[in-house]
Structure 1
């Protein structure tokens, strides 16, 4: 029987700069910094992993292609994952997983209906 993913109560401090670095590739540095500020101020919310993946339009081939050894080891050991940092791209209507894509996929692989905490900007 597989264990369920355990979650921290808030993102780690290092998650915000990581999200901003990723977002800078998509929306540029200035917009990424503004989104980072919005993410820091956002309230924690929760949705099932399957809904977040669908909104991000992540192909299942990407989820299946990932090497889960590290995440599965962390789950078995009961390590807590940091909540996701998400951004809604109003132009494309796509949900961007700014930080936590691998954590989201690991949660989905364990249980598609698993509740995943996140902040949304």
Structure 2
């Protein structure tokens, strides 16, 4: 798969660069569907997963994704964040995150359907680390 990189600089100190795959891995979609099935019915989940598969890959800063989802930053010693940070340091490309767009009209926040730990790991490198994502609406 093709890769893309996002800068990871913090207070002038060079941090590892996060490299992103151009496309999510196939197993990311069932993982997103599993989470989404807790908040929506099967038809809505199928529609949004298809929309995520067809959506372009875009980039946002880690801090913006966490704020839009109103989620806390997981600690750097969280076991899954540790795994993602190790992958970054090893130069392994990460899979783009799958995000459901929030709505100011409906008062809903964005939902990170897959990739929360990747976003948190990216933030720990720098809050301004560029994160690749696919975004769709419910």
2:109 counterpart residue number: 94
1:26 counterpart residue number: 39
Deviations 1:10-59 (A, max 9, x none): 10111111111110111122211110011111111111110011000012
Asked whether the equivalents of residues 4 and 111 of structure 1 are also in contact (C-alpha less than 8 Å), the reply is no
- Once the two structures are TM-superposed, the CA of residue 92 in structure 1 deviates from its matched residue by 3.4
Asked if 1:116 corresponds to 2:128, the answer is: no
Asked if 1:39 corresponds to 2:52, the answer is: yes
Q: Where do residues 37-116 of structure 1 align in structure 2 (5 Å cutoff)?
A: 37-60=50-73, 63-64=74-75, 66-67=78-79, 68-90=81-103, 91-116=106-131
Name the one with the larger helix percent: 1
Structure number with higher relative contact order (C-alpha < 8 Å, ≥ 6 residues apart): 1
Number of aligned residues:
119
Point out where structure 2 has 5 or more consecutive residues left out of the alignment. Answer: 1-13
Task: Give the Cα–Cα distance (whole angstroms) in 1 for the partners of residues 31 and 23 of structure 2.
Answer: 15
Task: Give the Cα–Cα distance (whole angstroms) in 2 for the partners of residues 70 and 81 of structure 1.
Answer: 11
- Relative to the length of structure 1, the TM-score reads 0.90
Aligned CA RMSD, in angstroms, stands at: 1.5
Displaced runs of 4 or more, over 3 A = 89-92
- Larger Cα-atom Rg: 2
Asked whether the equivalents of residues 10 and 82 of structure 1 are also in contact (C-alpha less than 8 Å), the reply is yes
Task: Give the Cα–Cα distance (whole angstroms) in 1 for the partners of residues 133 and 68 of structure 2.
Answer: 13
- Relative to the length of structure 2, the TM-score reads 0.79
2:7 counterpart residue number: none
Asked whether the equivalents of residues 68 and 102 of structure 2 are also in contact (C-alpha less than 8 Å), the reply is no
